[in-house]
Chain A
Amino acid sequence: MKHRLLVALPMLLALAGTALANDLPEYTLVVKNHVYQPSELKVPAGTKFRLIVRNEDATPEEFESTDFNREKIVLPNSSITVYVGPLHTGSYGFFGDFHQATAQGRLIVE
């Protein structure tokens, strides 16, 4: 009985999490010429949100942040979605792992 609860509870929570996903605020970043546009993105604190990264270059990029723990490959001329937060107020760096010299940006959480 206890075991069943241990299995069922996380599943229910997972379902609840995904059901809510549709109502999340959405922000978009564009990578062009290996530069993020905008390079500073303002998001509200304490709110989970959906981040879309569109790569308009002809080469693959990896959207990555070691500050808020996300990494995902963005193939040429396509876009990806990652779910971020809720985060505390602060400034969090993100970068393009494959073009770190130019692809740098910050998430301003306020």
Chain B
Amino acid sequence: MLGVALLVFREVMEAALIVSIVCAATRGVARRGWFVTTGIGLGIAGALLVAMGASLIARLASGSGQEIFNACVLLSAVLMIGWHVVWMSKHGRELAQHMGAVGSAVRTGASSLTLLLAVVAIAVLREGSEIVLFLYGMAIGGIGAAGLAGGIALGVGSGALLGFALYFGLLRIPMKYFFSVTNWMLVLLASGLASTAARFLVQGDLLPAWGTQIWDTSWLLSNGSLAGQTLGILIGYDASPAGIQLVFYVTTLLLLVVGMQRLSRILPSLSPRTRSLRTDPVSESLR
């Protein structure tokens, strides 16, 4: 049971961290709960489909199907997070000023929220499909139903707990800095996912590595340790990255930072509309 719990925990944790950051980043947006729940539901359904289609994926592209699939899934998450981050640089401060005003959030959000729903679904799908294959093997291997159920409950529970801890930790950040912090976290998350995508393409010999071990800090913090794995998700930490991973990481980082700054310069965040909304008697009375 403990073995099951441990593996399930590791996979759930990775997805939970991503979901927590997305939840924090969409704080105050109307119907967010519905979007996130739908994202998780779609992710679980997708995980079952991917696990069932595992042999099909494995055979694709003369054996490199898994690498291509993973890289595509990761890079589409990068694109969606990137779009949201750039969009947020336009609307973020507006949102921050209207936290608590029920009406304000309804106007904003919906388009970008759909993208983040997809990011949640992708995170759950990736980790979930591994859990499904693992549990399938365990079930064949003759582990009892009690051990299986107990392991799943313990693993999902503790993984989700870690996600909640991150989420409520983030909520303590003062509102003034809140969306800047969550935006930066999304930027680092996206850069890390891009780097992981590059790693898969190198593994399948679909991209040159440009140096396999640029540095090695595994003596300090190994990829396999819990802290290393957590930082791997949050900021894309890798103890010994390939050169091309750095290229993907830095390119994503630069593109998003430049995108954010360009947009916030073109569209000043304190528009007249925003200012007039703040004293709107209707939204005041809804507080």
Chain A positions within 8 Å of B, measured between CB atoms, are: 10, 13-14, 16-18, 21, 48, 58-62, 66-73, 75, 78, 80-83, 85-88, 97-98, 100-101
Contacts and interface: CB of A to CB of B under 8 A. Distances in A.
B54 A59 contact: no
A85 B67 CA distance: 17
A58 B142 CA distance: 12
A-B pairs, 9 with minimum CB distance: A59-B137, A66-B224, A66-B223, A17-B208, A83-B205, A60-B133, A13-B208, A98-B134, A60-B137
Contacts of A21: 205
Contacts of B138: 59, 98
A69 B238 contact: yes
A87 B7 CA distance: 28
In this complex, the interface size class of chain B, counting residues with CB under 8 Å from chain A, is: 35 or more
A69 B199 contact: yes
Contacts of A87: 212-213
B138 to A, nearest CB: 8
B168 interface: no
B223 A69 contact: yes
B207 A98 contact: no
B46 interface: no
A16 B210 CA distance: 12
Nearest to A86: B212
Given A72-B66, A83-B204, A98 B218 contact: no
Interface string B225-248: 000100000000011111000000
